Amino acid sequence: MSLAAMIPADPEGWFAHLTMEVRAVLLAVFLLLALSSIVSIGLVWSRPQHDYRELRSRVRTWWVIAGLVAGAMLLSPLAAIWFFAFVSFLALKEYLSLIPSRRADRRVLFWAYVSIPIQYGWISGQWYGMFIVFVPIYLFMWLPTRMVMIGEMPGFLRAVGTLQWGVMGTVFFLSHAAFLLVMPVGEHPRVAPVWPSTHTAISAGPGLLLLLLILTQCNEVGQFLVGKSIGQRKIAPAVCPTTTWAGFVGGLLITVLISAALGPWMTMLDLERSLIAGLVVAIAGLFGNLNVSALERDLGVKEAGSMLPGHGGVLDRIDSLIFTAPVFFHFVWYCYG
Amino acid sequence: MDDLRRADHDSAAEADADADVSSVDPAILAGIVAKGPQPVLRYLFFLIVVRPVMLVIMGMNVRGQERLAERGPMLVVANHNSHLDTFALMTLFPMNELHRVRPVAAADYFLRTRWFAWFSIRVLGIIPIDRDVRRGRGHPLDPISEQLNQGAIVLLFPEGTRGEPEQREPFQRGIAHLARRHPDVPIVPVFMYGLGKALPRGEGLLVPFFIDAYVGERLQWTGNKDTMMERLDTEFQRLADGARVPETF
- Asked if residue B222 has pLDDT above 80, the reply is yes
Q: Which residue of A has its CA nearest to B210?
A: A97
pLDDT one-digit tens code per residue, B72-128: 799 999 999 898 999 999 999 999 999 999 999 988 888 888 999 999 999 999 999
| Chain A touched by B61 (CB under 8 Å) | yes
Interface touch B209/A93, C-beta < 8 Å: yes
Residue A175 domain flag: yes
- Asked if residue B49 has pLDDT above 90, the reply is yes
β-bridge partners, B192:
B213
| Chain A touched by B65 (CB under 8 Å) | no
Interface touch A103/B208, C-beta < 8 Å: no
Q: What CATH number does the domain located at B26-244 have? A: 3.40.1130.10
Interface touch B208/A93, C-beta < 8 Å: yes
Interface touch A90/B59, C-beta < 8 Å: yes
Residue A155 domain flag: yes
Our CA-based measurement puts residue A162 at a distance from the nearest CA of chain B, in whole angstroms, of 12
Q: Which runs of consecutive H residues, i.e. helices, occur in B99-172? A: 107-110, 114-118, 142-149
β-bridge partners, B77:
B156, B189
β-bridge partners, B211:
B60
Residue B192 confidence class, pLDDT cut points 50, 70, 90: very high
Residue A281 domain flag: yes
No. of helices (H) and no. of strands (E), chain B: 11, 7
- A300 neighbourhood in chain B, CB within 8 Å: 244
- A113 neighbourhood in chain B, CB within 8 Å: 207-208
Q: How far is CA A234 from the centre of its chain?
A: 25
How far is residue B120's CA from residue B105's CA, in Å, rounded to a whole number?
9
Q: Which of residues 175-214 of B touch A (CB under 8 A)?
A: 194, 197, 200, 203, 205, 207-210
How far is residue B156's CA from residue A327's CA, in Å, rounded to a whole number?
52
How far is residue A211's CA from residue A206's CA, in Å, rounded to a whole number?
8
Residue A308 domain flag: yes
| Chain A touched by B247 (CB under 8 Å) | yes
Q: Which residue of A has its CA nearest to B193?
A: A97
Domain ranges of chain B: 26-244
* CA quadruple A77, A81, A86, A91: dihedral, nearest 10: 130
Omega prior to B73 cis, within 30 of 0: yes
Contact B144, B77 (CB under 8 A): no
User: Residue B108 has what pLDDT?
Assistant: 85
User: Residue B137 has what pLDDT?
Assistant: 63
β-bridge partners, B190:
B78, B215
The 3-state DSSP class for residue A270 equals coil
Residue B16 confidence class, pLDDT cut points 50, 70, 90: very low
Which one-letter DSSP state was computed for residue A184? P
B188 sits in which H/E element: strand B187-193
DSSP conformation letters of A48-65: TTS--HHHHHHHHHHHHH
Please name the residues in contact with B41: beta carbons below 8 A apart, sequence gap of 6 or more: B122, B123
Which one-letter DSSP state was computed for residue A82? H
How far is residue A243's CA from residue A255's CA, in Å, rounded to a whole number?
16
Residue A219 domain flag: yes
Interface touch A101/B205, C-beta < 8 Å: no
How far is residue A7's CA from residue B51's CA, in Å, rounded to a whole number?
36
User: Residue A305 has what pLDDT?
Assistant: 86
Report the amino acid identity of residue B57: I
* CA quadruple B19, B22, B28, B32: dihedral, nearest 10: 50
Contact B167, B175 (CB under 8 A): no
Q: Which residue of B has its CA nearest to A313?
A: B61
- Asked if residue B13 has pLDDT above 50, the reply is no
Angle (CA) A56 A58 A63, round 5°: 95
Residue B17 confidence class, pLDDT cut points 50, 70, 90: very low
**What residues make up the domain containing A281?**
51-336
How many CB pairs below 8 Å do chains A and B form together? Answer: 54
Q: Which of residues 112-131 of A touch B (CB under 8 A)?
A: 113
Residue B131 confidence class, pLDDT cut points 50, 70, 90: confident
Our CA-based measurement puts residue B93 at a distance from the nearest CA of chain A, in whole angstroms, of 18
| Chain A touched by B115 (CB under 8 Å) | no
User: Residue B132 has what pLDDT?
Assistant: 66
A131 sits in which H/E element: helix A128-133
CB atoms within 10 A of CB A53: 11
How far is residue A218's CA from residue A248's CA, in Å, rounded to a whole number?
12
Mean pLDDT of B23-48: 91
Our CA-based measurement puts residue B227 at a distance from the nearest CA of chain A, in whole angstroms, of 35
Please name the residues in contact with B234: beta carbons below 8 A apart, sequence gap of 6 or more: none
| Chain A touched by B27 (CB under 8 Å) | no
Please name the residues in contact with B135: beta carbons below 8 A apart, sequence gap of 6 or more: none
- A306 neighbourhood in chain B, CB within 8 Å: 61
Please name the residues in contact with A315: beta carbons below 8 A apart, sequence gap of 6 or more: A91, A94, A95, A170, A292, A295, A304, A305
- A94 neighbourhood in chain B, CB within 8 Å: 210
- Asked if residue B233 has pLDDT above 70, the reply is yes
Q: Is A156 exposed, middle or buried (0-12, 13-18, 19+ CB in 10 A)?
A: middle
How far is residue A117's CA from residue A119's CA, in Å, rounded to a whole number?
6
User: Residue A14 has what pLDDT?
Assistant: 75
Residue-wise over A21-50: b if at least 16 C-beta within 10 A, else e?
bbbebbeebeeebeeeeeebeeeeeeeeee
What ipTM score was computed for the predicted complex, to two decimals?
Answer: 0.85
Give A124 or B19, the one with higher predicted confidence: A124
A111 sits in which H/E element: helix A106-124
| Chain B touched by A103 (CB under 8 Å) | yes
Q: Is B155 exposed, middle or buried (0-12, 13-18, 19+ CB in 10 A)?
A: buried
Tally of CA atoms within 13 A in the half-sphere of B80 that contains its CB: 22
Our CA-based measurement puts residue B219 at a distance from the nearest CA of chain A, in whole angstroms, of 27
Mean pLDDT of B153-171: 84
Distances (CA, A) of B19 to B14, B23, B240: 9, 7, 37
| Chain A touched by B137 (CB under 8 Å) | no
Q: What is the total count of domains within chain A?
A: 1
How far is residue B152's CA from residue B154's CA, in Å, rounded to a whole number?
6
How far is residue A177's CA from residue A328's CA, in Å, rounded to a whole number?
9
Q: Which of A180, A206, A177, A185 is nearest to A284 (CA)?
A: A177
Percent helix, strand and coil across chain A, each rounded to 5?
Answer: 75, 0, 25
User: Residue B133 has what pLDDT?
Assistant: 61
How far is residue A74's CA from residue A17's CA, in Å, rounded to a whole number?
8
Q: Closest partner residue to B59 among A113, A300, A307, by Cβ?
A: A307
Report the amino acid identity of residue B45: F
Residue A284 domain flag: yes
Of A46-55, B9-18, B47-56, B234-243, least confident by mean pLDDT is: B9-18
Q: Mean pLDDT by 10-residue block, N- to C-terminus, for chain A (337 residues)?
A: 48 78 94 94 89 89 95 95 97 96 93 98 97 98 96 93 97 98 92 90 93 96 89 86 90 97 95 97 96 93 87 94 98 95
- Asked if residue B7 has pLDDT above 80, the reply is no
User: Residue B162 has what pLDDT?
Assistant: 80
Q: Which of residues 255-314 of A touch B (CB under 8 A)?
A: 299-301, 305-307
Percent helix, strand and coil across chain B, each rounded to 5?
Answer: 45, 15, 40
Q: Which residue of A has its CA nearest to B196?
A: A103
